[in-house]
Structure 1
Amino acid sequence: MPEVHFSVRWPDNSTSDCYSPSRVIKDYLEVGKNYSVPDFVDRSRIALSIASARVEQKFGYMCSSAMDQLSQIERTADSFAAQENALVLVEAFRPS
């Protein structure tokens, strides 16, 4: 499956290099676009769940790396829960 790495910049200006086992993430996130933290988490959850399901269809097991990535996104996002109008910027997609 075509893996994709994507870089995001969090509201505190820190960055994360994220992973998706499928290009489906590109259907939910756009490079150069800012998303509210809750919207970014929701979009990531949908895309990474679809990606994991695609791995399961092809290989017979869910992608634990996709679910680990989602957990990491959710944990990081939790630290910004109290900030109103906090935005996440999608900086880049890179094939692996």
Structure 2
Amino acid sequence: MPEMLFSVRWPDGRRREYYSPSLVMHDHLDVGGTYTVTDFRARSTTALSEASERVRAKFGFACTSAAMTTEQIHTDAAAFEDGATVQIVAMRPPLPTAATVGEVNP
């Protein structure tokens, strides 16, 4: 199961990196995207819950690291107003492109 890291710039300019046990974060957040604290917290919680369920489906148990990341995000988000904005700075690894999976671009 491919793991990933995603970097966030909080409203005070502080940058923080978070872990996901799955690339599912790409389904919920975009690099360069800005989200309100409320929206980021909700999207991250949903994505990390999905990631944990993928771990459960593959290994038979939920991912405690996904739960810890969710808790870290909620703790970090509590320092800011709900309407303040969070920016997604990076997501590693990126999603594979057609060129990286062997397809030829026309």
TM-score (norm 2): 0.85
Gaps of 5+ in 1: none
Gaps of 5+ in 2: 94-106
Which residue is 2:91 aligned to?
93
Higher relative contact order (CA 8 A, sep 6+): 1
CA contact (8 A) 2:37 2:82 kept: no
Q: 1:61 to 1:84 in 2, by over 3 A?
A: closer
For the residue of structure 1 that corresponds to 2:13, the secondary structure is: coil
Q: Structure 1 vs Structure 2: percent identity of aligned residues?
A: 51
TM-score (norm 1): 0.94
Separation of aligned partners in 2, 1:64 and 1:70? 10
Separation of aligned partners in 2, 1:85 and 1:52? 28
CA RMSD of aligned residues (A): 0.9
One-letter amino acid of the structure 1 residue matched with residue 63 of structure 2: C
One-letter amino acid of the structure 2 residue matched with residue 14 of structure 1: R
Separation of aligned partners in 1, 2:53 and 2:70? 14
Cα distance, 1:84 vs structure 2: 5.8
Q: Which runs of 4+ in 1 moved over 3 A?
A: none
